[in-house]
Amino acid sequence: MSLIYAVLSVHLSCICLQISAIFTPDFNNWLIERFGRDVQTTLNSDKLAYNFFLQSLIRIRHQQKRVFLRGDLGDAGSFGGKAFRSERLHNQPVIFVHGVSDRARDKPFSAAKHFKENGYEWSELYGTTYANGAQGNPLQWTQYAMQCSYVKQVRALIVAVRLYTGRAVDVIAYSLGVPVSRKAILGGRCVDTGEDLGRPLTRFIDTFVGIAGPNHGISLQVAGVSIPGCLFSVLPVCNTQTGLYSGMCPAESAYLQDINSVQGYEAQNVFSIYSIADQLVGYTVCNKITTQVPGQRAEKVFQNENHDDTFYHSYEVQRQMVLNHIVV
């Protein structure tokens, strides 16, 4: 079923997708045409309303979303878009969602380059940045959590790419980007703000790939010993509402309970990629393999890769999952 929509009203830079970064001019122009020219100049928060079909008739859901333009990331903030409006896509567009300490031009862009070298075009590869990256601090990841604004930004990109290309999309998410993306697709109410995101986007997503994602929390690996990473909720990343808290088993944060309460909503085809030797997310949390996506179709398991290398060394695995729905 085609995605039909009535109005996408935006008064902030590219529905917080940073059209002034390195989205192509055509994508920028499309966003301006759909959302109004003032998206390029408005630096204040305003409201985003988008309408889309989820059944056989138009179902309109209006949402107010507070988002802020960030110019500090420059060309590291985003990528993707057609060279010209009539360019035809030969593959389904792929949306890459980074981990907590990354930006779009870090790990996502490196994977996108592999896709580009193996049959994809830039018009089929997209990424944006939530949060602020590492900011030169190797422990910056401990200061982030899965707040509603991050979820809305990822959801907005999924909707925008779907409307812009007219194709079903694929989503490849890494690390904290996995639970963030899962909530973006699931919709419903944000656990921190209570905002209603709308209904699931499942039918518009062909394949979801979760790479090294902390779906049930984290278990740090130190000298071969597993140490509960979020047994206490002291750090922001471990808070009991929007964090990775997994205290006395089987306790989980409200956010993790929400995204794990149902299965199979991420896409028509759901895969995971993870490593038993992941030193940051770990392997099992409360006797659950935390990096598995509940209800997944299949998985790729590495034996000895660390957290980052699980992503770097799985480019072709990712491509085959979204392109052919197979594990190599």
Q: Across the chain, what does the average pLDDT equal?
A: 80
- Contact (Cβ atoms closer than 8 angstroms) between residue 95 and residue 171: yes
Q: Per the structure, how many domains does the chain have?
A: 1
Q: How many CB atoms lie within 10 A of CB 3?
A: 16
Residue 134: its pLDDT value, please? Answer: 56
What pLDDT band is residue 135 in, cutting at 50, 70 and 90?
Answer: low
What CATH number has the domain bearing residue 213? Answer: 3.40.50.1820
What pLDDT band is residue 7 in, cutting at 50, 70 and 90?
Answer: very low
Residue 320: its pLDDT value, please? Answer: 99
What pLDDT band is residue 136 in, cutting at 50, 70 and 90?
Answer: low
Determine which of 15-29, 87-101, 144-158, 260-274 has the lowest per-residue pLDDT on average: 15-29
C-alpha count within 13 angstroms, C-beta hemisphere, residue 3: 22
Of 27, 217, 49, 198, the C-alpha closest to 123 is 27
Does the pLDDT value for residue 19 go beyond 60? Answer: no
Residue 294 lies in a domain: yes
Does the pLDDT value for residue 40 go beyond 80? Answer: no
Does the pLDDT value for residue 293 go beyond 70? Answer: yes
Residue 61 lies in a domain: no
What pLDDT band is residue 133 in, cutting at 50, 70 and 90?
Answer: low
Does the pLDDT value for residue 145 go beyond 90? Answer: no
Write out the residue range of the structural domain in which residue 280 sits: 77-324
SS3 288: strand
Query: Residues 246-264: what's their mean pLDDT?
Result: 92
Residue 248 lies in a domain: yes
DSSP E strands in the chain: the ranges are 9-10, 48-53, 58-61, 78-79, 94-97, 125-128, 169-174, 205-211, 219-222, 225-228, 269-275, 284-285, 288-289, 298-302
- Contact (Cβ atoms closer than 8 angstroms) between residue 93 and residue 125: yes
Residue 187 lies in a domain: yes
Does the pLDDT value for residue 250 go beyond 50? Answer: yes
- Contact (Cβ atoms closer than 8 angstroms) between residue 134 and residue 100: no
Residue 253 lies in a domain: yes
Percent of the chain with pLDDT over 70: 77
Winning range, highest mean pLDDT, from 30-44, 67-81, 83-97: 83-97
Residue 32 lies in a domain: no
Residue 11: its pLDDT value, please? Answer: 31
What pLDDT band is residue 263 in, cutting at 50, 70 and 90?
Answer: very high
Does the pLDDT value for residue 60 go beyond 60? Answer: no
Residue 112: its pLDDT value, please? Answer: 97
Residue 107: its pLDDT value, please? Answer: 94
Residue 60 lies in a domain: no
C-alpha to C-alpha distances, 105 to 23, 75, 129, 133, nearest whole angstrom: 12, 8, 9, 11
pLDDT tens digits along 183-228: 999 999 999 999 999 999 999 999 999 999 999 998 887 766 677 7
Does the pLDDT value for residue 266 go beyond 60? Answer: yes
C-alpha count within 13 angstroms, C-beta hemisphere, residue 256: 27
Residue 170 lies in a domain: yes
